[in-house]
Amino acid sequence: MISTKAVYADGSGRHANSAVKPCFDGPVRETQQTVPPGDEGYGQRKVAAEHALLDSGLPVTVIRPGLIHGEGARIPPEWVFVKRVLDRRPRIFLAGRGAGVNQPTAAANLAALIEVVAAKPGWRILNGADPDAPSALEMSRTIARLLGHEWEEVLLDEPVGSVGRHPWQAPLPVVLDTSAAVSLGYFAAGDYAATVAAEVDWLVRSASGSAGSADSAGSAILASLDGDYFRPMLDCAAEDRFYARSACD
């Protein structure tokens, strides 16, 4: 079962989707407490599903990934950077000074872990994540470098309206301990920079409307992205107004 790191809660019950974000003491292990099972939230529903499967008596492996990225993603978080490069934006605005760490999980690394556990059936819960946990600033630099683009980095303490918002905003780092997966024989397909390259290429092809069934599907995905999730992170007009005011101060 593919679950989510959003099930984890800190000692005060705070979790990924709570108003106040959680504060973990370090890399989160599978023994970390979770939100209670229920139907009132994403994490709660995932915990309920975990319980249903783990209580079945079958050799079920539950995998809790981080923020999944990869070619074909329905909500590709890297789009906030790729779109700006395609639009030749001269600046990138990052709240939290780009220091936010919300550990990603490449689809390729998730597949590598699934291959290991499928060969060794058993009742278990495993974290699944990339071998590194880059900050939002490091991710933006990786994607700009992959696409041969340079921009001015405008690092903000907090978002100013929509300016500076991005998918990896995290006041405190959220990193998964993957030692249990490694002990089973899991070996990552690559780090973030290596695994994100195929996704970035796919996003560029999809945005250009390149021929091919996979790219056509990607184009359909991108056409649906101008919604509530991405719109506040791609408000270029607000960024230009903010930068113009700042230059006059």
Give me the chain's average pLDDT, please. Answer: 91
Nearest to 180 by CA among 15, 33, 64: 64
User: Looking at residue 211, what is its pLDDT?
Assistant: 44
Span 41-53, average pLDDT: 96
Q: In whole angstroms, what is the distance from residue 26 CA to residue 169 CA?
A: 18
- H/E/C letters for each residue in 23-35? CCCCCECCCCCEC
What percent of the chain is modeled with pLDDT above 70? 92
CATH of the domain at 130: 3.40.50.720
- For residue 85, give its domain range: 5-248
**Which tens digits make up the pLDDT trace of 209-228?**
754 545 556 666 766 666 67
Does the pTM exceed 0.85? yes
Nearest to 238 by CA among 182, 160, 167: 160
pLDDT digits (tens, 9 = 90+) for 126-135: 999 999 999 9
Q: Name the domain count of the chain.
A: 1
